[in-house]
Amino acid sequence: MKSHDGMYIAGEWRVPVGRDAIDVRNPADEQIIGSVPAGSAEDVDAAVTAAREAFPGWAATPPAERGARIAALRDALAARRDEIAETITAELGAPIGFAGAVHADLPIAVAGSYAKMAAEHSFEERIGNSTVLHEPVGVVGAITPWNYPLHQIVAKVAPALAAGCTVVLKPAENTPLVAQLFAEAVHAAGLPAGVVNVVTGLGPVAGQALAEHEGVDLVSFTGSTAVGKRIGAIAGGAVKRVALELGGKSANVLLPGADLERAVPHGVANVVRNAGQSCNALTRMLVDAARYDEAVERAVAAAESFVPGDPSHPDTRLGPVVSAAQRDRVRGYIERGVAEGARLATGGPEAPEGLPHGYYVKPTVFADVTPDMTIAREEIFGPVLSVLRYEDVEEALHIANDSVYGLAGAVWAAEETEAVAFARRLRTGQVDINGGRFNPLAPFGGYKQSGVGRELGPHGLLEYLQTKSLQL
């Protein structure tokens, strides 16, 4: 894998202040495939300075011209679509088919949506005797995760650019290679120097320096709730705007009369997708008591159809998790589920057969899970499904809402109207109805400890704008 030994700051690759580096490992074979600089607070300061200097000019650029530059960025990413997919497979372990169809194609589509939005959004409105202006917040510090590395970069950078903001990006240390590729695409798209800057580094060093920097007007963070709380506290102390997309423990509610033949395999596939490393994964499947055993049987069959294997092979549907630490974390949760009395229906903490190397986890289904168990309450971030039993619809609603999280959910019912009525009572940011598809133009974000603010679509653009009222 190609990597840069510098930071992308003010339109060029600059030598970092320090000599520390971060090795990037392929989670399928544990081999080092690249190395990037471990940025310091000084590197972050240089990037923020570049972004502040570029801000007035970019904010004054007509929105249609900003849209044209974002469209050029989309085209630069599309031209390297296959390279993006291969890079993400190499550093994240996502199966190559999924890497192309989701990890590469989705951010390309999102970039295109914001190119269009920049040109079409009304940046002023009339309310009574006032003209209300929508103006860019300023310099954005974007701190992105490793699970959907390019998608999360684009979901922050594209709307920020459309709004007229400039950006300093600190990508996750596990997946920095695709972030450097993104910087190359920014350069190829002809974005003015300093409008987008990329500093690789560790969260507690570069990430914290970015969150604390007085030259950053808004911090947009996606990652764990624990880190999000710290960033929120830092931003609150500085009276700084913050957008947080955090954890989840989403419920997949199969109401009485739901089509189990469709619903159960669909739910399992959702959990196993991306090796379970999705914040909106439907990791709690709720089934009525009368059909509980049937649902567990179907879940086991569906999970066992996902055979862990080499993510670079086109037929592989389940690759490794991102790191040894993540593998150990997931296996630890599986062991805890067994210890707390859940029934291991399939899978387990042992390494999959025939895969002595790599950070692989068996697709795992737990039955007889109760709402108080750790595996039903904490985010595992691996291919682990908990199947819970409920006696009536009100109990199902209580179980689904009894969580500190509220990011996503799903409802299956014989009639769409029944599912929608139930979904309206869920305290969560988005709900799939009878297998409804992800919509990149709809707002994405959560209730409760799943975050603050929304990403994607027009609602995502508004996060990077502030209002000014002119009384006439």
Using the predicted structure, report yes or no on whether residue 97 has a pLDDT greater than 90.
Answer: yes
What is the structure's pLDDT at 169? 98
Q: What are the backbone angles phi and psi of residue 12, rounded to the nearest 5°?
A: -150, 160
Catalytic residue, candidates 91, 279, 418, 455? 279
Rg (CA), the chain: 22
Same domain, 367 and 432: yes
Residues 447-454, mean pLDDT to the nearest whole number: 97
Amino acid at 5: D
Same domain, 271 and 300: yes
Using the predicted structure, report yes or no on whether residue 127 has a pLDDT greater than 80.
Answer: yes
Task: Retrieve residue 18's tokens.
Answer: 């320090």
Q: Establish if 1 belongs to a structural domain.
A: no
Provide DSSP, 128-168: TTEEEEEEE--EEEEE--SSSHHHHHHHHHHHHHHHT-EEE
Q: Which of 331, 327, 253 is nearest to 287 (CA)?
A: 253
Other C-beta atoms closer than 10 Å to the C-beta of 341 total 10
Contact between 349 and 331 (Cβ < 8 Å): yes
Contact between 252 and 407 (Cβ < 8 Å): no
Contact between 16 and 7 (Cβ < 8 Å): yes
- To the query of whether residue 394 is one of the catalytic residues in this protein, the response is no
Same domain, 227 and 313: no
Contact between 219 and 206 (Cβ < 8 Å): no
Same domain, 162 and 282: no
What is the structure's pLDDT at 3? 86
Q: Establish if 46 belongs to a structural domain.
A: yes
Same domain, 269 and 236: no
Collect all residues with Cβ–Cβ distance below 8 Å to 152 and sequence separation of at least 6.
Answer: 144, 145, 222
Catalytic residue, candidates 173, 184, 212, 245? 245
Q: Establish if 145 belongs to a structural domain.
A: yes
d(CA 420, CA 13): 51
d(CA 410, CA 258): 12
Q: Establish if 429 belongs to a structural domain.
A: yes
What is the structure's pLDDT at 214? 97
Indicate which CATH number applies to the domain containing 348.
3.40.309.10
Q: Establish if 408 belongs to a structural domain.
A: yes
Q: Beta strands of 223-328 (E only): which ranges?
A: 241-245, 251-254, 284-288
Same domain, 238 and 286: no
What is the structure's pLDDT at 2? 79
Q: Establish if 50 belongs to a structural domain.
A: yes
Using the predicted structure, report yes or no on whether residue 369 has a pLDDT greater than 80.
Answer: yes
Using the predicted structure, report yes or no on whether residue 415 has a pLDDT greater than 80.
Answer: yes
Q: Looking at the 3D structure of the chain, how many domains does it have?
A: 2
Using the predicted structure, report yes or no on whether residue 463 has a pLDDT greater than 90.
Answer: yes
Give per-residue pLDDT as tens, 65-75: 999 999 999 99
State the pLDDT confidence band at 1, using cuts at 50, 70 and 90.
Answer: confident
Same domain, 119 and 217: yes
Residues 282-295, mean pLDDT to the nearest whole number: 98
Q: Establish if 125 belongs to a structural domain.
A: yes
Same domain, 321 and 370: yes
Same domain, 434 and 465: no
Same domain, 295 and 428: yes
What is the structure's pLDDT at 464? 98
Same domain, 256 and 237: no
Same domain, 359 and 414: yes
- To the query of whether residue 279 is one of the catalytic residues in this protein, the response is yes
Angle between helices 105-120 and 63-79 (to 10 degrees): 170
Indicate which CATH number applies to the domain containing 104.
3.40.605.10
**Residue 423 belongs to what H/E stretch?**
helix 416-423
Q: Establish if 204 belongs to a structural domain.
A: yes
Contact between 452 and 232 (Cβ < 8 Å): yes
Which residue segment(s) compose the domain that 34 sits in? 7-246+450-471
Contact between 170 and 39 (Cβ < 8 Å): yes
Collect all residues with Cβ–Cβ distance below 8 Å to 138 and sequence separation of at least 6.
Answer: 55, 165, 166, 216, 217, 218
Q: Which of 172, 81, 148, 93 is nearest to 440 (CA)?
A: 148
